[in-house]
């Protein structure tokens, strides 16, 4: 909701940094889940969910890269759309 209040460039940069840190953490957790599933006797049961998580991780990483390339005003809109789940 902070995005709707008209943040400046420095605040947006901090928020993008936070999203980037979250993206790396999410990617790490997905990799951990994939490693755990590889050792699981029922790994086929988790394949669909792992694919979904891996896809979402790629989307989040692509979003962060897009935010880095965009200026602060464009970043605000893109970040808001991504966080609210719109495509």
pLDDT on residue 11: 73
- Tokens representing 17 are 């940094």
pLDDT on residue 69: 83
pLDDT on residue 21: 94
* Structure confidence by residue, pLDDT tens digits, 56-66: 999 889 888 88
Is residue 37 within 8 A of residue 43, CB to CB? The reply is yes
Residue whose pair of structure tokens reads 């692509």 in the numeric block: 62
pLDDT on residue 7: 55
pLDDT on residue 16: 81
Is residue 16 within 8 A of residue 79, CB to CB? The reply is yes
The overall pTM is greater than 0.85: no
Number of other residues whose CB lies within 10 A of the CB of residue 70: 16
- Give 3-state DSSP helix, strand, coil % of the chain, rounded to 5: 85, 0, 15
Stretches in the chain below the pLDDT threshold 50: 1, 87
């Amino acid at each position: 909701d902070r995005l709707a209040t008209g943040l400046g460039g420095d605040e947006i940069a901090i928020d993008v940094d936070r999203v980037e840190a979250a993206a790396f953490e999410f990617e790490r957790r997905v990799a951990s889940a994939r490693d755990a599933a590889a050792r699981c006797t029922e790994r086929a049961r988790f394949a669909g969910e792992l694919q979904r998580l891996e896809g979402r991780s790629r989307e989040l990483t692509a979003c962060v890269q897009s935010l880095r390339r965009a200026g602060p005003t464009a970043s605000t809109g893109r970040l808001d759309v991504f966080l609210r789940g719109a495509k």
